[in-house]
């Protein structure tokens, strides 16, 4: 019976929280209102998954880190300070980068590898320095060169940008 009361209390607390709007993380002092912003990134018309986006104020002055990462559909939901949905009103340059780690120079141990071989492989990987290989042309991640920009206003903001052919495939 006691377990049932606890479950009912927790269920009511959850429903109350959902309908009353539980407070999320405390916003930093001075953060302006944020507006919904989704940006779709494509390469030659196909969605680009795993691309990192940063929004940089056109005047170069910002107190807020604004960006997102594209999903399998190429869509990034923009957040401010990595936790608050949306972006402040303003005009931004859209910077796009997609990097992957270079392949390891150490071959994977085979299926019959001993524990010592696997351990040695893991140690090799820990000590290995692998560069990041960029798949998007550098101009799309350069504020002086990117052709992409978005103006965020009150309401929902959506835009689609294409970064052309991928490089270093």
- The model carries a pTM of 0.75
Q: What's the pLDDT score for residue 28? A: 87
Cβ neighbours for 91, distance < 8 A, ≥ 6 positions apart = 57, 58, 149, 150, 151, 152
What class has domain 26-98+135-162?
A: mainly beta
Separation between Cα atoms, residue 69 and residue 136, nearest integer Å: 14
Q: What's the pLDDT score for residue 24? A: 65
Mark out the alpha helices in the chain (DSSP H runs): 2-20, 115-127
Q: What is the DSSP letter of 11?
A: H
Average pLDDT for runs of 10 along the chain of length 169: 43 46 75 97 97 91 91 98 95 95 89 92 90 94 96 97 92
| Phi–psi pair at 97, nearest 5 degrees | -140, 145
């Amino acid at each position: 019976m006691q377990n049932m009361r606890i479950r009912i209390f927790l269920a009511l607390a959850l429903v109350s929280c959902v309908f009353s709007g539980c407070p999320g993380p405390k916003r930093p002092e001075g953060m302006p209102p944020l507006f919904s912003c989704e940006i779709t990134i494509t390469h030659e018309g196909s969605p680009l998954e795993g691309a990192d986006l940063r929004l940089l104020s056109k005047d170069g002055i910002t107190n807020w880190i604004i960006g997102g990462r594209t999903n399998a559909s190429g869509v990034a939901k923009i957040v401010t300070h990595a936790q608050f949905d949306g972006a402040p009103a303003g005009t931004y340059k859209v910077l796009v980068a997609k990097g992957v780690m270079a392949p390891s120079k150490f071959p994977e141990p085979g299926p019959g590898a001993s524990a010592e071989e696997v351990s040695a492989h893991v140690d090799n990987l820990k000590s290995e320095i692998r560069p990041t290989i960029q798949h998007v042309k550098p101009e799309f991640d350069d504020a002086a060169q990117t052709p992409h920009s978005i103006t965020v206003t009150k309401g929902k903001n959506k835009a689609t940008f294409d970064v052309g052919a991928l490089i270093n495939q």
